[in-house]
Amino acid sequence: MKVVGRYGEGVLEAVPEEIARLERLGYDVLTTGELKYEATTRWTLAAHASTRAEIGMSVMIAFPRSPFVTAQMAWELQRMTGGRVSIGLGSQVKGHNERRFSTGEWVSPAARMEEYVLMMRSVWQTFQKGELHPFEGDHYQFTLCPPAFNAGPIDVPFPKIFLAAVNPAMTRVAGRVADGLLPHSFTTEKYVREVTLPNLERGARAAGRHAGDIEIAAGGMMALADTESELEQKLLELRRRVAFYGSTRTYQRVFEVHGQEELGKTLHDMSITNRWDEMPGAVPLEVVREFAISGTYDSLPAEIERRQGFANRVSIDMAEDPANEERLTDLIQRVQQIPTRG
């Protein structure tokens, strides 16, 4: 199993040092997200600083950006790194698209994302072959690329495209057009097995693909500690994240699979009345355990294999601590030995 580490949550100038540390520890894949900071600057700097790991994003918000521009960036980084770039695309929810990113009128994110990926691949085909490979959809079109704007071919495979998905429609899109699937951190083993995997298979079959060829990240949350008592405290701290995501209507399907519709409604009602500090207390610890893979350094690999055997890659995040580096390297190596699907 590939082990994923995260970079770029701090200041931009720290990225090269973060990449060097993560590669030294033995991570296979390094990704950055897009919360406080814009993702592509960190992605570019990480690609430049890296020497061996796959450099990705989990995730970049797609719709504020042109698919042509995203394709251009990925193409150059793929050439520069010798084929070690991947792209993680996410749609975000309606409110953030309209009120934070100002992307215009909200339309079906699944249909729009499918076109986004297909247009990126048309751009890459155009660059690789030196002649226009047009794309025309309802949301995006690519019908013009004079030679002056053609980046030219590369001698490595096209970058891999991963899609973030929670709901069934986006998961089916991933099955049809993506190289990999990134389940949200607000997901559970039960939800993945009962909802995500069947919809991924359905999408793949519709496109004449084999779902086993699509990489799947483990998703969910993780709690890692030295002792069982410390682990219990970390699970309690994760209630805040479960409460935050659980208050969003877009993610209610996950609660429904667990018969927790009332909890979802309660959290949503608390969020719209700005009772954010009270929300974690409404989440029972047994619910947190459904969302989090948890274990000590000794027990975590077996827990990952037991509950996330559907995955090809898993994220293990640890705060920088030189005293723990040897133990973390050992943990990464043991997780890498877990057999994967496909």
pLDDT tens digits, residue range 162-221?
999 989 999 999 999 999 999 988 999 999 999 999 999 999 999 999 999 999 999 789
Does the pLDDT value for residue 50 go beyond 60?
A: yes
The candidate with the shortest Cα–Cα distance to 51, out of 22, 72, 75, 71, is 22
Q: Is residue 271 part of a domain?
A: yes
Whether 229 and 210 share a structural domain: no
* Whether residue 150 sits in one domain with residue 109: yes
Of the pLDDT bands very low, low, confident and very high (cuts 50, 70, 90), residue 317 is: confident
The C-alpha atoms of residue 297 and residue 11 are separated, in whole angstroms, by: 29
Tokens of 39: 């993702």
Length of the chain: 342
In a 13 Å sphere around the CA of 94, the CA atoms on its Cβ side amount to 8
Average pLDDT value for residue range 307-336: 88
pLDDT at 184: 87
Picking from 174, 175, 184, 124, the residue whose alpha carbon sits closest to that of residue 154 is 124
d(CA 137, CA 156): 28
Residue 238 amino acid letter: L
Percent of the chain's residues with pLDDT above 70: 99
Q: Are 280 and 311 in contact (CB under 8 A)?
A: no
Are 131 and 68 contained in the same domain? yes
Question: Would the CA dihedral through 101, 104, 110, 112 be positive or negative?
Answer: negative
- Answer yes or no: is 101 within a domain: yes
- 10-31 confidence digits (pLDDT tens): 999 999 999 999 999 999 999 9
pLDDT in tens, 117-166: 999 999 999 999 999 999 999 999 999 999 999 999 999 999 999 999 98
Same domain for 65 and 152, yes or no, is yes
92 domain-assigned: yes
Residues 317 and 241 placed together within one structural domain of the fold: no
**Same-domain status, 102 and 201:** yes
Tokens 């770029």 identify what position? 8
84 and 231 both lie in a single domain: no
Please indicate, yes or no, if residue 342 is contained in any of the structural domains: no
User: 245 lies in which domain range?
Assistant: 224-296
- Judgement on whether residues 9 and 143 belong to the same structural domain of the protein: yes
Contact 316, 218 (CB under 8 A): no
Residue 28 belongs to a domain: yes
Identify the three-state secondary structure at position 334: helix
Domain-located, residue 104: yes
Q: Is the pLDDT of residue 304 over 70?
A: yes
pLDDT beyond 80 at 321: no
Does position 34 have pLDDT exceeding 60, yes or no? yes
- Whether residue 137 is found in the same domain as residue 240: no
How far is Cα 317 from Cα 223, in angstroms, rounded to an integer? Answer: 9
Which positions ≥6 away from 278 have C-beta within 8 Å?
270
pLDDT of residue 342: 56
53-66: pLDDT as tens digits:
999 999 999 999 99
Do residue 60 and residue 153 come from a single domain?
yes
CATH of the domain at 320: 3.20.20.30
In a domain, 303, yes or no: no
Query: Same structural domain for residues 166 and 236?
Result: no
Residues 292 and 314 in one domain: no
Residue 58 lies in a domain: yes
Work out how many domains the chain is built from and give that number. Answer: 2
